[in-house]
Structure 1
Amino acid sequence: MKLGVFTVLFSDKSFDDMLDYVSSKGLEAVELGTGGYPGDAHCKVDELLNDEQKLSEFKQKVESRGLMISALSCHGNPLHPQKKIAEPADEILEKTIILAEKLGVPVVNTFSGCPGDHEGALYPNWPVTPWPHDFQEVLKWQWEEKLIPYWKEKNDFAEKHGVKIGLELHGGFSVHTPATMLKLREACGPAIGANLDPSHMWWQGIDPVESIKILGRENAIHHFHAKDTIIDQANMNRNGLTDMTDYSQMRDRAWYFRSVGFGHDTKTWADIVSTLRLMNYDYVVSIEHEDGLMSVDEGFTKAVENLKPVMVKESMGDMWWA
C-alpha cells in the first residue's frame, strides 16, 4: 500500500512546489483535482489533452519525484436538475476519464450526484426517510429515470478507456452508503465503485471497518481517502446526524472533520488499514485535510505522522507457519 495526498489543500502552491513538498514528507502518491468542487490548480485538463509535450512534461515532473498519480478527481453533481450546473460537471468527468487514460491513471473520483424530484425541478432532492411515501416515489423516480441511465452510460465510457470511477460516499448525494453504492454498481457495471472516505461513514453512524468489508467482498473499493471525524454527542443529541449547522460553527455542530488521529485513535486506524488489506485493497490511502482546528501544514503533517506507523507496506507471501 502507498500513502498519498489529495493535493487540493496545496492549491496555493505551484505544481512543482507542491510536488517537492509532498515528496519531502515521504509520500508516494498524489491525487489531483481536475475541476468541479476540488478545482484544477495542479491539473489543467484542456491544456494537457491538447498538447502532447505538456502532457509528457507533466508526467515527468511527477515521476521524477518518485511519485505516482493515484487518481484524478472532479467531484461535482452531473445530475443536478439545472443544466448550467449538470452539464459542466458531466463534461469535466468525461474529459478527466480521457486524461486519466492518457496518463495511465486507473481511477477518476467524483460524486454520484443527486437529481431533483421531477423534470422541472430547480434543486436536488435528497430523500432520507421512507415515510411519508412521497419520498419513496421521489427516490424511485431518481434511480430509474436519472441515476441508473446516467451511470450505466458512464460505466461503459470508463470501461472503454480502461478507467474505473470512484464515487465518494457522501451525504447529500444519492450514493452515500455501502448499500446505495452496491445498488448502483449492480445496475450499472463494475467500473463503478467507491472512493471510500471513513469520515463520511462515522457521521452517518456506519462503522468504517464494516463498510470496508461490505464493499471489499464485492471488489468495489477503487480508491480510499484518509480523513477523520469527531462526534460531539451533546450537539448530536440536539441536531441529529443530518445537522445543517454551517461547517464554520464548529462549537455548535453535531460532528466535524478532523485530521487523522484526532477523531479516532491509532488502533482504529490500524484496523482500517488492516481491513483494507484483508479485503485485497493494495493501492493508495490518500490523505484529505478538512480540519477547521489546524493549519494545512500542521494538519497534513500530523496525518502523515499518524498514518505512517500503521500502513501495511509489504503483503505476506506464503504462510510459512501454516
Structure 2
Amino acid sequence: MKLGVFTVLFSDRSFDDMLSYVSSKGVEAIELGTGGYPGDAHCQIDELLNNESNIKKFKQKITDHGLIISALSCHANPLHPQKKIAKPADDLLEKTIRLASALEVPVVNTFSGCPGDHENALYPNWPVTAWPHDFQEILKWQWEEKLIPYWKEKNDLAIAHNVKIGLELHGGFSVHTPATMLRLREACGPAIGANLDPSHMWWQGIDPIEAIKILGRENAIHHFHAKDTIIDQQNMNRNGLTDMTDYSEMRDRAWYFRTVGFGHDQKTWADIISTLRLYGYDYVVSIEHEDGLMSINEGFTKAVENLKPLIVKESVGQMWWT
C-alpha cells in the first residue's frame, strides 16, 4: 500500500511547490484533478494530451520527487439534464480517460452523475425513498434510459484505454451505496468500480468496513479516499441523514467531515486498512481534506501522521506459522 493525497487542497500552490511539499511529508502518491469540481490546478489536460514532450516532462517531475500518480479525477455530472452542463462533463471524462492512458495512470475517478426525471427536466432528481411510487418510476427511467447506456459506453472506452473508472459513492448522485455501485457494475462491465470514501458511508449509516467487504468480494474497489466524518446525534435526531443545512453551519449540521482520526479512532482506521488488505486492495490510500475545523496544512499533516503507522507495506507471503 501507498499513502497518497488528493492535491486539490493545494490548488493555491504551483505544481513544483506542491510536489516538494507533499513528498516532504512522506506521501508516496498524488491524485490529480483534471477539471470539474476538483479543478485542474496541477493537471491541465489540453497542455498534456497528444503532447509527448509535455507528458514526459510532467511524469519526470513527479518521478523525481519519488511519487506516482494514483488517479486522475474529474468529478462532475455528465448526466445532468441540462446539456450545457452534461456535455462539458462528458468531454472532460473522455479526455481524462485518454490522458490517464497516456500517463499510464490506472484509475480515473468521478461521480456517476444524476439525471433529471424526464427528457426535458432542468435539474437532477435524486430519488431516495421507495414510496410514493412516483419515485420508483423516476428511478427506473433514470437507470434504464440514462445511467446504464451511458456507463456501458464509458466502460468500453476505459477498457480500450487500459483504465479503470472509480465512481465515488456520494449522496446526490445515482451511485451512492455499495448496492447501487454493484448494480451499475453488473450492468455495464468490470472497468466500473468504486473510489470508496468512508466519510460518505458513515453519514449514510453504512459501516465502511462492511462496505469494503461487499465491494471487495467483487474486486470492485479501484481507489480509496481517506476522509473522516463525525455524527452530531442531537442534530441528527432533528435533521436526519439527508441534512440540507449548509456545510458552513457546522454547529447545526447532523454530520460534517473531519480529518482522519478526528471522527473515528485509530482502531477503526486500522480495521479499515486491514480489511482493505484482507479483500485484496493493495493500492493507494488517498487523503482528502475537507475539515472545517482545521487549516489545510494542519489537517493534511495530522491525517498523514495518523495514517502512516497504519499503512500495510509488506505482504505476508507464505504463512510460515501453519
- Structure 2-normalised TM-score? 1.00
User: 2:82 aligns to what?
Assistant: 82
What is the identity, as a one-letter code, of the residue corresponding to 2:28? E
Note the 1:57-96 alignment, pairs <5 A: 57-96=57-96
Structure 2 segments unaligned to the other structure (5+ residues): none
State the partner residue of 1:110.
Answer: 110
Q: Distance in 1 between matches of 2:35 and 2:316?
A: 38
For the residue of structure 2 that corresponds to 1:229, the secondary structure is strand
Query: Which residue number corresponds to residue 5 of structure 1?
Result: 5
Matches of residues 1-322 of structure 1 in structure 2 within 5 Å? 1-322=1-322
Give the CA deviation at 1:50. Answer: 3.7
Give the aligned CA root-mean-square deviation in angstroms.
0.4
- Cα deviation digits, residues 240-295 of structure 1 (max 9, x gap): 00000000000000000000000000000000000000000000000000000000
- Deviation, structure 1 residue 54: 1.1
State the Cα distance separating 1:158 from its structure 2 match: 0.3
Q: What is the rounded CA distance, in whole Å, between the counterparts of 2:27 and 2:311 in structure 1?
A: 12
For 1:310 and 1:101, locate their aligned partners in 2 and report how far apart those are by CA, in whole Å.
31
SS of equivalent residue, structure 2 residue 49: helix
- Corresponding letter in the other structure for 1:172: G
Residues 145-192 of structure 1, C-alpha deviations (whole Å, 9 max, x = no match): 000000000000000000000000000000000000000000000000
Greater CA deviation, 26-35 or 47-56? 47-56
CA distance in 2, matches of 1:253, 1:105: 37
Q: Secondary structure at the match of 1:225?
A: strand
Residue 194 of structure 1 aligns to a residue whose secondary structure is: strand
Q: Work out the percentage of aligned pairs sharing the same amino acid.
A: 85
Rounded to whole Å, the distance in 2 between the matches of 1:50 and 1:133 is 49
Shift of residue 207 of structure 1?
0.1
Equivalenced residue count is 322
SS at match of 1:290: coil
Equivalent residue letter for 1:147:
L
Shift of 1:108: 0.1
CA distance in 1, matches of 2:52, 2:317: 41
CA displacement at 1:144 relative to structure 2: 0.1
Counterparts of 1:84 and 1:141 in 2: how far apart (Å)? 21
* Aligned partner of residue 256 in structure 2, secondary structure: strand
Deviation at 1:136, TM superposition (A): 0.1
In the alignment, the residues of structure 2 paired with residue 47 and residue 58 of structure 1 have an alpha-carbon distance, to the nearest angstrom, of: 10
The AA in structure 1 aligned to 2:122 is L
- Kindly state the Cα deviation for residue 52 of structure 1 after the two structures are TM-superposed: 1.7
> Structure 2 CA distance, aligned partners of 1:52 and 1:221?
31
Cα deviations by residue, 1:15-68 (Å, 9 ceiling, x for unpaired): 000000010001100000000000000000011014221111000000011100
Q: How far apart in 1 are the matches of 2:17 and 2:316?
A: 36
Give 1:225 shift. Answer: 0.0
Q: Which runs of 4+ in 1 moved over 3 A?
A: none
Whole-angstrom CA distance in 2 between matches of 1:118 and 1:192: 25
- SS of match in other structure, 1:53: helix
What is the DSSP-based 3-state SS (H/G/I as helix, E as strand, rest coil) of the residue aligned with 2:300?
A: helix
Distance in 2, Cα, partners of 1:313 & 1:210: 23
Amino acid at match of 1:197: D
> C-alpha distance in 2, partners of 1:79/1:38?
18
Q: Deviations over 1:171-229 (max 9, x none)?
A: 00000000000000000000000000000000000000000000000000000000000
Q: Secondary structure at the match of 1:277?
A: helix
C-alpha distance in 1, partners of 2:253/2:129? 22
